[in-house]
Structure 1
Amino acid sequence: MSLSHQQKVYIPKAVRNNQYITAEIKVTDALLAHYPDYKTCYKALSRTIFKLASQQELYNVHVITNDKLPVVRYHSEAYCFPTAEQIIFFYNPEYHEAQGLHTQDDYRARKIRIVCLATGEDIRSNSASFHLKVQSFLAALMPQMPEDELTIKVRDHQHLSYDLFAKAKGNKETYGYKLRSISDRYKARSCPLPDDHGSLCYVTVKLPLSRKLKQAILPEQSDDFSPLYKKIQDAFVQATLAKKLHRVAMVANGRTPLVRNSKFDQLEGTDEVQMLGFDPNIDDPQFLCHWNGKRLVEMVSFTIAAGVKDSKDGGLGLYLNRVEDALRSLAVELALDKTRDDLIVRFHQHISYSTSKQLINK
């Protein structure tokens, strides 16, 4: 098999594409000094944000001023579900447009988050164009902000989501992706990024704990679920090590995994979010495991992070093919039924950087 063919990964045509970009602005005393109270500040800024976003053809934009974490997923209908710590947006990029202010009275946010959801068709092909629109929007927004010294943290999130067992369920059509890093794709489309931007690439996988799986492993009427988690953990570690995937995590504590670069980000978990930190620059094995044998959850989440070398010279296709091979081995070990069980693979690519009034003025 040629190297060019190996660098491609064949994904079901029913794959879901998502892209959203967040812009984070710290709430400072200097910013709030221009307004009589928090509520007035958030409403005034949101009106300016929505107006400028529309001028840049950004049609699905949300402003979050209650410090909740945005989570974006595809759905045929548009929903917004707030929890104590998160705001989960479900939408179809082809059809859904919205403007929303998500706030809390008498609450001083640590940061204002602007969430721009990509809309239209061919989300991945048009990702650079969407990023350019957001850059133009931020360039127009910063002079409108009352602070003289203003820095905005930009994060670009892109996902491909699909069922690993789609072919066994009759969805046999696939499309060959020659995956490239975001920076390479953007460079080819004249979308500039700062030289010091950060990047992270990883795969998350959701494994529902079905009745069949639990009955096959757990003894009857047991309050100790450790044998179930230990069996899954051992199978996962064995499968990933066999494919030389050394940055992996298993989470089965009911929390939402949030992946960060451990070299740069401080990692603190919360009641709802399980922070996972990987350093893509080192080759030493990094295995993270979070589960409690006294608590049975509905879903196990796996994370497999790519290294710096995986993102170079067409390596992402090779990386994702290795991930899929490892997951197929895991499925065999756990006796999953490909015609009935789902194993949803979500391929993540993220970049992040900071921009400021000073940089824009240059």
Structure 2
Amino acid sequence: MPVSSQHKVYIPNSSRDNQYLLAEFSLTDAILARFGAPMVDSAEPFKEFYLQLGKIFFELADQAGLRNVHLIANGKTPVVRFHTEAYTLQTAEQILFFYNPAYHEAQNSFFNPAEKARKVSLLFLATDANIRANAADFHNKVRSLLQRFSDEINSPELSIKVRDHQHLTYDLFAKQKGVKESYGYKLRSLDARYKARNCELPEKHSALTYAIINLPLSRYVKEQVTIDTKSDRPYNALYQLIQDQFVEATSLNKLTHRAVLANGLLPLVRNSKFDKMSTGKELQMIGFDTSVSEGQLIADWDDSNLVESAQFIIFATKDDYTDMGYGRFMNQVETALRRFAKGVNLNPERDDLVVRFHQHISYHL
């Protein structure tokens, strides 16, 4: 393979892009006081505050030309995915936004008027047909809005953390299903891409790059082992097979920081230098330590319970990045996944193995 090809990964044209920015700040008494005292004799003492805050936010968004924005003050974590139809669904711990960036627009507030939220989140969903090419411009617009928002709130206690999330999602077996066209990506780091487009990030910022892979546990996968339904741990052999095949395939391709998850939870990936692992009823925070040179394997599965799908995380370290980008890393990921797929008897023409390439940056405004 020519050197230039080693640094490009060819992703099917059926892939889907997402980008969103999440700005969060703690809701302090001083910030509340800027809008007047809560109506303590009311059943909804914080309603007026949230409405005023939303009015400021949505007016600034309109002025900036940002057309899909949301204010979240109910303690729930936003999850953003591509969909041909627009849906917003809430669970106990999540708000799920399904939308097509090419044409869906919305403005919504989510809050409990009877409670003071611990934090307020401002969510900005990209609305463009060409997200990657215009990502830096979108980031600049959001950051400019947040500066104006900070001026409007005018509180010394206001400290805004900004997270920029970008996903590129595709089926590893798209070609076998008839998708013939693909495009070569170098997958440069976000700071390099942004700098080339006149978007300078703060010197103090953190970046994460990783791939999450979703494996539906189909009948064909489960038939690889004998499931003892009389046992207290009937799915141990199944999950052990999946883990062994994944670890072997990734090790052969020098991918060292990995996770195998089969617990029905949604993983949120963080840098363990700043965030510790934690688990809720729906969400699981996974922290990787890039300073561990020998690698890191996180395995979390419940062999007494059969989940619909297993998830794998392959985390990129500084050794996985080249001056060209993360293209070589993703080529290694794809090679490992194809080997893994054979090990668990996947049929590329029938089965899906969905890969989501993530790039995140975060900093304080």
Is the TM value for this pair above 0.5? yes
**Contact 1:262–1:279 (CA under 8 A) maintained in structure 2:** yes
Amino acid at match of 1:270: G
1:41 aligns with 2:22: no
Encode CA deviations 1:105-154: one digit per residue, 9 max, x unaligned. Answer: 31221110000000021101100000000011111111111423321000
CA drift of 1:261 comes to 0.2
Matched residues in 2 for 1:176 and 1:15: separation?
A: 12
Amino acid at match of 1:53: A
What SS is found at the alignment partner of 1:319?
A: helix
What SS is found at the alignment partner of 2:279?
A: coil
What SS is found at the alignment partner of 1:125?
A: helix
Matched residues in 2 for 1:196 and 1:244: separation?
A: 29
Matched residues in 2 for 1:166 and 1:61: separation?
A: 32
The residue aligned with 1:26 is 26
**Contact 1:281–1:308 (CA under 8 A) maintained in structure 2:** no
Matched residues in 2 for 1:192 and 1:162: separation?
A: 29
Matched residues in 2 for 1:197 and 1:300: separation?
A: 32
1:243 aligns with 2:250: no
Equivalent of residue 138 in structure 2, options 127, 130, 144: 130
The residue aligned with 1:257 is 267
1:322 aligns with 2:350: no
Amino acid at match of 1:312: T
Give me the identity figure in percent.
51
Matched residues in 2 for 1:303 and 1:341: separation?
A: 19
Q: Which stretch shows the higher mean deviation, 258-267 or 118-127?
A: 258-267
The gaps in structure 1 that reach 5 residues or longer are: 356-362
Matched residues in 1 for 2:86 and 2:64: separation?
A: 22
Amino acid at match of 1:122: N
CA drift of 1:18 comes to 0.4
CA drift of 1:221 comes to 3.7
Encode CA deviations 1:53-77: one digit per residue, 9 max, x unaligned. Answer: 1111110001100010000000000
CA drift of 1:50 comes to 0.6
Matched residues in 1 for 2:256 and 2:230: separation?
A: 33
What SS is found at the alignment partner of 2:357?
A: strand
Equivalent of residue 206 in structure 1, options 208, 214, 220: 214
Matched residues in 1 for 2:310 and 2:63: separation?
A: 42
Equivalent of residue 334 in structure 1, options 318, 333, 344: 344
What SS is found at the alignment partner of 1:32?
A: helix
1:174 aligns with 2:177: no
The residue aligned with 1:106 is 114
State the 4+ residue runs in structure 1 displaced beyond 4 angstroms: none
Amino acid at match of 2:61: A
1:87 aligns with 2:112: no
Matched residues in 2 for 1:284 and 1:155: separation?
A: 29
CA drift of 1:285 comes to 1.1
Q: Which stretch shows the higher mean deviation, 216-225 or 149-158?
A: 216-225
CA drift of 1:3 comes to 1.6
Matched residues in 2 for 1:274 and 1:149: separation?
A: 30
CA drift of 1:220 comes to 5.7
> Normalising by the residue count of structure 1, what TM-score does the alignment of the two structures yield?
0.96
What SS is found at the alignment partner of 1:234?
A: helix
**Contact 1:309–1:315 (CA under 8 A) maintained in structure 2:** no
**Contact 2:167–2:358 (CA under 8 A) maintained in structure 1:** yes
Distance 1:315 1:282, change over 3 A: farther
The residue aligned with 2:10 is 10
The gaps in structure 2 that reach 5 residues or longer are: 39-44
The residue aligned with 1:72 is 80
Kindly tell me the number of residue pairs found equivalent between the two proteins: 355
Matched residues in 2 for 1:168 and 1:64: separation?
A: 41
Matched residues in 2 for 1:119 and 1:336: separation?
A: 35
Matched residues in 2 for 1:281 and 1:350: separation?
A: 19
The residue aligned with 1:215 is 223
The residue aligned with 2:196 is 188
**Contact 1:154–1:352 (CA under 8 A) maintained in structure 2:** yes
RMSD after superposition: 1.2
> Normalising by the residue count of structure 2, what TM-score does the alignment of the two structures yield?
0.95
Amino acid at match of 1:332: K
